[in-house]
Amino acid sequence: MPTLLELQRAVYRGLVAAEEGFCAAHVVADRIVGEARLNVYRNTLIGNLTTALRLVYPAIHRLVGGPFFESAARLFIEAEPPQSAWLEEYGAGFPEFLAGFAPAASLPYLPGVTRLERAVNMALHAVDAAPLDLSRLAAVNAADQGHIVFVPHPSVGLLAADYPVDAIWRAVLSQDDAAMTAIDLAAGPVWLMVERNASGVEVLRLPEPEWRFMSELCASRSLQEAIDAAPEIDAASVLAGHLAAGRFIRFGLRSELIQVVN
């Protein structure tokens, strides 16, 4: 007889990878053969995970239609089964999967819309956090200010796309055919910031230099490094706007390797 661990692993492979042979041989038939009994659980698993993906990517579901989405989801589930029981985390690799999914090649903007939806979902479910205490920031010596490293709010996300994915996303979710028709896919790239505030999740377009500046800050670069990465902007003014909006929650001084916590 196999050990319990061997059986558990076999059940997992049987459900996710359809490797039924070893597992089915140890399933009590009780009027339903082992393979058929496993299929019941497999279909339930696939159905639940497909629903989880559809809830995270509603615009993608509408863009490609139910049958296409379900087919793609099934292949993705087989390639990347869940590693956690928390389904809100599932599907992080779906944008990259669609980027390499041959049947979706005629929709080059699809991976970008998928990444945006992922960022929106992450912002929606991010833990709440108090904004940075600006009085502590004001107390930093002028000589140390360039060494400041900020910690962004957990809901803040940044992404760039070659297509106007934010306009596509909004038009699809609002089912606005006129807005969808008016979208110019050749309009050029967009640089987006996703955040959650008191009114909900918002997707904002940023000028590319400001996006570059914010991207450096969110990647734990020092303030001076962020300024050097976007010398064409008024960094003080842009940073003041982000601080006023509560987009940072902590800061530290890299030179001293300390972190100041609210």
Query: How does pLDDT run across 193-205, given as a tens digit for each residue?
Result: 999 999 999 999 9
Query: How does pLDDT run across 44-92, given as a tens digit for each residue?
Result: 888 999 999 999 999 999 999 999 999 999 999 989 988 877 777 889 9
CB 169 within 8 A of CB 116: yes
- What DSSP state is assigned to residue 73? H
Calculate mean pLDDT across residues 101-120: 97
Query: Phi/psi of residue 251, each to 5°?
Result: -150, 160
What is the SS3 assignment for 172? helix
The token duo for 37 is 């009994």
Query: How does pLDDT run across 181-237, given as a tens digit for each residue?
Result: 999 999 889 999 999 999 999 999 999 999 999 999 999 999 999 999 999 999 999
**Residue bearing tokens 């597992």:** 23
Predicted local distance difference test score (pLDDT) of residue 158: 98
Give the 3-state secondary structure percentages of the chain, helix then strand then coil, rounded to 5: 55, 15, 30
Query: How does pLDDT run across 153-166, given as a tens digit for each residue?
Result: 999 999 999 999 99
* Pairwise CA distance, residues 57 & 232, whole Å: 36
Tell me the DSSP string of 96-161. Answer: HHHHT-GGGTT-TTHHHHHHHHHHHHHHHHSPP-PPP-HHHHHTS-GGGGGGEEEEE-TT-EEEEE
Q: Model confidence at 262, in pLDDT bands (50, 70, 90)?
A: very low
* All residues at 6 or more sequence positions from 250 whose CB lies less than 8 Å from its CB, including other chains: 132, 150, 151, 259, 260, 261, 262
* All residues at 6 or more sequence positions from 142 whose CB lies less than 8 Å from its CB, including other chains: none
Single out the residue of 246, 2, 250, 45 nearest to residue 149, CA to CA.
250
Whole-model pTM: value is 0.85
What is the percentage of the chain residues whose pLDDT exceeds 70? 86
Calculate mean pLDDT across residues 170-178: 96
* Pairwise CA distance, residues 208 & 187, whole Å: 14
* Pairwise CA distance, residues 132 & 259, whole Å: 12
**H helix count then E strand count, the chain:** 13, 6
* Pairwise CA distance, residues 259 & 136, whole Å: 12
Is 118's pLDDT higher than 60? yes
Calculate mean pLDDT across residues 157-184: 96
The DSSP element (H or E) to which 198 belongs, if any, is none
Single out the residue of 72, 163, 68 nearest to residue 110, CA to CA.
163
Is 9's pLDDT higher than 80? no
Mean pLDDT of the chain: 89
The token duo for 117 is 């939806």
Q: Model confidence at 259, in pLDDT bands (50, 70, 90)?
A: very low
Q: Model confidence at 122, in pLDDT bands (50, 70, 90)?
A: very high
